[in-house]
Structure 1
Amino acid sequence: MPSFDRSDVPQAALEFVVIADTHHLVDPGMYSTKGDSVTPEIVREWSDRGDWALALTKATETELVFHVGDLAQEYPGSRFFDTGRRAAVAQFEESGLEVNFAAGNMDIGDKPDPTVPAGWVEPGYLKRWDEDFGKSFYSRTEGDTHFVVLNSQIMNTTLPEGIEQREWVEADLAAHASHRIFLFMHLPPYLVDEDEPGLGSYDVLGNPDRTWLLDLCRRYDVEALFSGHTHFQVFNRAGGTRLYTLPSTTTTRPGFYEAFNVCPPDRGWLDTTKLGFFLVRVTDDATSVHLIRTSGETHANHPAGSRILTGTTVDVPHSPAATYLRLPITNQSDGAISYPNHVRHRIRDDYPLLSCVEAGIRHVRFPIHDLDVSIQAGQLAVLRSEGVRLTATVLCPRPADIAAAARKASETDFIEVQLTNRFLPEGEDLEALAGLRETGVGVAMAPLALEDTGKVHLRSRTGFRPRELPDLDDMLSERGVYLDRAVCTVDDSGSVWNEVLAFDTRLGSVGGLDFLVPLGADDERNALAAAEALFAAATMPGCRVYLDPLQDLDRVTKVVNGLLDRLSNPRPAFHVTRVLNTVLFGNGRRPGSYKPVDPGPSLREARVRGVADHRGELWLAPDGDGTRAAEVLRHRVTGHAPVRLIDPVAGLSWVDSLPAVLDLMVSGDAGPLPIVQVGRF
């Protein structure tokens, strides 16, 4: 049975799961007999994927589960609707879960729109739902938290149930105004803009009830509204309310991939990396939403080990994890008019933003001109509201350019001044830097130098090297100028661990160091670079590690794999960052909480890295060094306490005796970057 490892996240006062669009399918051949483009190969695993998602939901051990619609693929009025409904109900009964259901279009019919491809919601379908699951709108309270389930399909109708729901929810929210409130329904209010069309759109709630509902969210300070239907994650904010549109557990849907500028597999049907559900954790002062990726897994094809529950930006406030936006934080398309829509739907790629939150990345840097582009500035502001600190970079050939950057001081947390034709700041530069700090924004500085790297043309280098920082610090001290951050370049040709540890953080006039860690075209090397960078950062007070870039650069002079590919799906370095960020910096730990550990002469030349804090030791043993590392650890570690083995690429852990853990590590079953944790965890 699956399980979760919560060792490194804070305890929650309340947890609940939100799951969407399980689409249990009775007959995988139902489409091929109609000449539909949905082949049996696409749909045959849908039900098995749903089974596994429910097993993972059960493994979270939360007693609160919400399903926001579309239990079965057979829709109301179709030949096998009754069979599909019974099979879907049986699927949930067999899971052992007690579920709070919201009705979807595949459950009771489509919203009233003359362009939708299936029958509208009607009294008979509602009656059947009530018989199977109870009333389609209701609420429940757990302590000071109030949950409201709504029926989006009867909104904007003249059905008696629609009128009743409207009156009921207004009274219910008013009666629980002092509670923390969460809402659940099937259709999302909107995808990109609050005023986007509802008529002709299969995918969103129309007006007037969209505006009415969002007004209620603002009035009663609803914490979050969860919806489904699209099988594609979307994130918006309406006032203080976070609007989450969930992925499906079974399939992605074509139509939304206009948000990307590369083609998805099978037109968007089989982008299984995006499948999953949410585990929501409520604490006294925050709510964190964790994507549990199911990735198309089933009972027959899932990896062994406990899934490490990793922290979002809420859970790792002192994380040094950072990234560089060489591409904008989002891409937005005006969309296409295609089945089942009759309007052109704007769609935005929210996955880079959501991935930063998922991995607990607390810092991003980007060109300052992104703040002049409304769509980018808006998404960066949303990212900032989710706990990510922004650094805007600006090229400064003249001191006046430093002063001019102050125009964006209120929209970012830091401004990184890049000196383009001088290595250290000069007299007027220092005055401009001091003036910039007086605006309240943090100031970072980096030289941008051209160097001969053996290529045909010179290459630019951003940041200081270890030997150059003392000169900067001495000059700043002499002039009485303080810098919040100094940007440092890390050479990717050798060991990132050694490169980072070569810097001295004991500087009098610089608050902290920002390490720029370049990624390359090799996923395995990138994963190791991310692991070594975070291990080194754990020993360096006040530092940040900018993994560069966030997304692939695949049509440029030098091809680079980022943390995400161009479909915004994670690469191995993303998962390494996500896992180690939590393991090293969860539960209030911060850079400088650890000390480097010498592995001894037999491993000094190998790429085995060790760090230690008051809890114990963590050892990184890359593939190829595992056998030697295991032999050293057998002699180094004494006692009989359990040991944790971590596979950061897969996000899995095992707790066992030292011999068992080391045998598993040597076998290769713990992935290419096994980590052994000894002590308390």
Structure 2
Amino acid sequence: MSERLFRFAVIADSHVNPSDEDLISPYESHRLTNARLAHTVEVLNALAPDFTVHVGDMIHPVPEAVSYPDAVARFKAAVGRLKAPLHLVPGNHDVGDKRADYVPAGEICEPYVDLYQRHFGEHHYAFDRDDCHFVVINTSLINSGLAAEARQARWLEQDLQANASRRTLLFVHYPPFIASADEHGHYDNIDEPGRSWLLSLVARHRLAAVFTGHVHNFFFNEHAGTPIFSLPSTAFVRGDYSELFAVGQPSEHENGRNDVSKLGVLVVDVYPDRLVPQFIRTQDRPEGAAPQVQRDWPQLPPAAGAREPGLGLDLRYHWGELHQIPYSSMLDEFRRKQARNDYPILALWEMGIRALRVPLDDLSDPASRARMRALAALGSRFTVFLFGWPTDGQIELLRQHQGLLRALELIVKWPLAPDLGGRLGALRARVGVPLHLSRFWSASGQSRDGKQIKLLVDHGFAGPADPAAKELLEHTRGQGFDGLVFRVAADTDVDEGITGAAAFAARHGLRAQVHVRLASDSPAQARTDAQANGVRALGAAFTSRGCPQADVFLDTLSDVDRGYFPRAGLVDRRFNPKREGQALRNLHGALSELPAMDAPRWVRDPQFLVGAARMDRSQLLLVLPLGGAALMQLPDWLDTQDLRVRRWLDLASGEERAWPASDPDTAKVLDGPCLIELATCRVEERALA
């Protein structure tokens, strides 16, 4: 990746109160907004952006409130501690609501614009950094009919035209839309005709990105190739969007408003050829505690289009589903509005996972296909699977959208057709993407172990010893396809399953597509041990990094707490990262900074699973505790004077640790997975012999 030019941050909706003893909200969490902005300032200073943009609702009192000046003073005192410049975007609390009959507060007017300018400065303006042009506008003005609206519109059109040769980024408060560009007007979008006017400028000038606030949740959209990021708040979550999650809210969440895992900032690293966004969760800071800053990994995600090694995920839950948000007697009372749960996308980005597996149905559906296209523009690629032979229409669809795809996974049924090899070659030529083959196992009859009758749908070769894999290769002479699909059952060691499949496929000049199950092989047996599934996920990620000839997919993103095969995932049902998901994020981030590694070798003892892999001039160890104790001794063979430790990374927190060199009874403890880089390779000879 080329050298980073600069970094900026975006924050939204701090809603500062005029005093620390809030008297203007029925929610206890609202009293914490000032403290949460102070914490956010410390996080930003640690992340060290070159500047920050606040996309509006700096304060909570609206312009007609007598406490407006006091809240402004509190806001300025808090952000005055920032070490880098801050640029402000007017929000509806700062300058008045957009003009519409259904808005609950005072609408924008010329006196409110004057009030904003006296306290905050210009309400539309632009600035430059390197080859980038940054534009701020006042979206409360759009459709207002005020003279200031016409002035802003003329200025914006002229400014975009004058800077047509630059990468231009637009910062607004109101999102143009939440779910689709043709949705009806509601509290959380820009009404027509102003919406179409603004989107036409976005399309005509091919803006690099648009950043919005107002919704206090994460939404990701795309318009004419431009990504639109709607950001969570630093202060609280909008409770109406809790309907996106098929799970209840604990009492401390205040019905979703105080779900602190969703608070945070967006950091954007700017490179000559791309923008790399990262969401950094600020969580909450207990009173008197030191700030905890989530580790940032600017290499996530890497360049779009690269077929880099790494872990992929099966998107079993519908990841583009539109939810009907109930009218709530709060902000939208007279019409329903639609929204998607985009937190799965955010979780995937955070964990550095861009290889995704979906059914062909997703590519066939126009709305899902649009989401695939938007994600592909930021580096994601899809393996699309299909049972049986594709129709001519499906083949044409695959051919037209081959730029979104890593591979077509074809699940075939036995007995094999006599002319299968020739048909596969013709199919691969038509679709224009690699073709991977999987074996369909009968939906009824004897199970794999022959012990019981089952009524399950299953597929994938059982491993290198599966006679069906050899039969397929002999039947087709290994021609007409590019990879074999293997299934690593829950009772199979993940490293052996991946390396064995990769080695077998490589001997035949093929790729291995390996499905690692976190679920049990029984639909009634729960696998809810989050630590055990986390070890399995981290082991799969580490092994896949050393096996670039394999595409490895986990079967689970979020917890499955109903239906068949209940199991623990990497995020919970609110799509907040669990400890295991955070560890995977930090593992992928650390590996992205390191050179290529060989396939790891593994050692097991009752307490630990340890993977050891050679790199160019060092040795890399992934140490995974297997027990449930909070603190465990490091393996004895790591406590030697001749090991030169270059790095010890706590994967759960992302923190660098000092190698324990004092009292072995107190210093040699481990409370979670860690990654250790050694300047010597002797450990492999001693521990893995």
> Which category describes the TM-score, using the shorter chain as reference length?
0.7 to 0.9
Query: What is the 5 A alignment of 1:20-39?
Result: 20-27=12-19, 30=22, 38-39=26-27
**In the alignment, which residue of structure 2 is the partner of 1:194?**
181
Deviation at 1:523?
1.2
Q: Distance in 1 between matches of 2:104 and 2:626?
A: 56
Identity of counterpart residues, as a percentage?
25
Structure 1 unaligned spans of 5+: 1-8
> Alignment partner of 1:291: what SS?
strand
Q: 1:270 aligns with which of 258, 263, 271?
A: 258
**In the alignment, which residue of structure 2 is the partner of 1:3?**
none
Deviation at 1:127?
1.9
User: Cα gap change, 1:627/1:271 in structure 2, threshold over 3 Å: closer, same or farther?
Assistant: closer
**In the alignment, which residue of structure 2 is the partner of 1:466?**
463
Q: Distance in 2 between matches of 1:401 and 1:172?
A: 50
Contact 1:490 1:496 in 2 (8 A): yes
Q: Distance in 2 between matches of 1:455 and 1:662?
A: 51
**In the alignment, which residue of structure 1 is the partner of 2:41?**
54
Contact 1:419 1:447 in 2 (8 A): yes
Q: 2:269 aligns with which of 281, 298, 307?
A: 281
Q: Once the two structures are superposed, what CA deviation does each residue of 1:13-40 show, in whole Å capped at 9, x if it has no partner? A: 12111111111224466457xxx6x322
Contact 2:543 2:599 in 1 (8 A): no
Query: What is the 5 A alignment of 1:443-462?
Result: 443-450=435-442, 451-452=447-448, 457=454, 459-462=456-459
User: Cα gap change, 1:452/1:508 in structure 2, threshold over 3 Å: closer, same or farther?
Assistant: closer
Contact 1:598 1:604 in 2 (8 A): no
Q: Distance in 1 between matches of 2:599 and 2:193?
A: 59
**In the alignment, which residue of structure 2 is the partner of 1:556?**
563
Deviation at 1:494?
4.6
Matched, 1:144 2:145: no
**In the alignment, which residue of structure 2 is the partner of 1:171?**
158
Q: 1:501 aligns with which of 499, 502, 509?
A: 499
Q: Once the two structures are superposed, what CA deviation does each residue of 1:409-448 show, in whole Å capped at 9, x if it has no partner? A: 23352221112344xx442332332121011122111112
Deviation at 1:331?
2.1
> Alignment partner of 2:345: what SS?
helix
**In the alignment, which residue of structure 2 is the partner of 1:340?**
331
Q: Once the two structures are superposed, what CA deviation does each residue of 1:363-412 show, in whole Å capped at 9, x if it has no partner? A: 1112222333333232223223322111121122xxx5587752442335
**In the alignment, which residue of structure 2 is the partner of 1:323?**
313
Deviation at 1:88?
0.9
Contact 2:260 2:284 in 1 (8 A): yes
Query: What is the 5 A alignment of 1:123-162?
Result: 123-162=110-149
Amino acid at match of 1:417: L
Deviation at 1:636?
7.0
Question: Whose RCO is larger (CA < 8 A, sep 6+)?
Answer: 1
Q: 1:525 aligns with which of 496, 507, 532?
A: 532
Contact 2:12 2:232 in 1 (8 A): yes
Q: Distance in 2 between matches of 1:603 and 1:481?
A: 43
Query: What is the 5 A alignment of 1:191-590?
Result: 191-198=178-185, 201-264=186-249, 265-297=253-285, 300-301=288-289, 307-309=295-297, 311-314=299-302, 317=306, 318-338=308-328, 339-341=330-332, 342-396=334-388, 400=389, 406-410=395-399, 411=401, 413=405, 414-422=407-415, 425-439=416-430, 440-450=432-442, 451-452=447-448, 457=454, 459-468=456-465, 472=469, 476=473, 479=477, 481-503=479-501, 504-505=503-504, 507-519=506-518, 520-586=527-593, 589=595
Deviation at 1:268?
2.1
Q: Once the two structures are superposed, what CA deviation does each residue of 1:625-647 show, in whole Å capped at 9, x if it has no partner? A: 886645322327534xx632222
Q: 1:643 aligns with which of 641, 646, 656?
A: 646
More moved, 333-342 vs 146-155: 333-342
Contact 2:600 2:613 in 1 (8 A): yes
Deviation at 1:91?
0.7
Q: Distance in 2 between matches of 1:526 and 1:661?
A: 33
Deviation at 1:235?
1.1
TM-score (norm 1): 0.88
User: Cα gap change, 1:586/1:437 in structure 2, threshold over 3 Å: closer, same or farther?
Assistant: farther
Contact 1:572 1:649 in 2 (8 A): yes
More moved, 485-494 vs 368-377: 368-377
More moved, 129-138 vs 225-234: 129-138
Q: Distance in 2 between matches of 1:432 and 1:279?
A: 48
Contact 2:6 2:50 in 1 (8 A): no
Deviation at 1:665?
7.5
Contact 1:250 1:296 in 2 (8 A): no
Deviation at 1:574?
2.5
Contact 1:314 1:387 in 2 (8 A): yes
Amino acid at match of 1:517: V
Deviation at 1:508?
4.7
User: Cα gap change, 1:194/1:302 in structure 2, threshold over 3 Å: closer, same or farther?
Assistant: farther
Query: What is the 5 A alignment of 1:608-647?
Result: 608-623=610-625, 629-635=634-640, 637-639=642-644, 643-647=646-650
Corresponding residue pairs, total: 650
Q: Once the two structures are superposed, what CA deviation does each residue of 1:70-118 show, in whole Å capped at 9, x if it has no partner? A: 1122222223222111111111113344200011111111111122111
Q: Once the two structures are superposed, what CA deviation does each residue of 1:179-226 show, in whole Å capped at 9, x if it has no partner? A: 11111111111101112222xx22111122211111111111110010
> Alignment partner of 1:95: what SS?
coil
User: Cα gap change, 1:43/1:133 in structure 2, threshold over 3 Å: closer, same or farther?
Assistant: closer
Deviation at 1:524?
0.8
> Alignment partner of 1:89: what SS?
helix
> Alignment partner of 1:21: what SS?
coil
More moved, 182-191 vs 59-68: 59-68
Amino acid at match of 1:287: L
Contact 1:17 1:278 in 2 (8 A): yes
Query: What is the 5 A alignment of 1:3-18?
Result: 11-18=3-10
Deviation at 1:178?
0.5
More moved, 457-466 vs 434-443: 457-466
Matched, 1:100 2:87: yes
Contact 1:139 1:149 in 2 (8 A): yes
Contact 1:488 1:515 in 2 (8 A): yes
TM-score (norm 2): 0.87
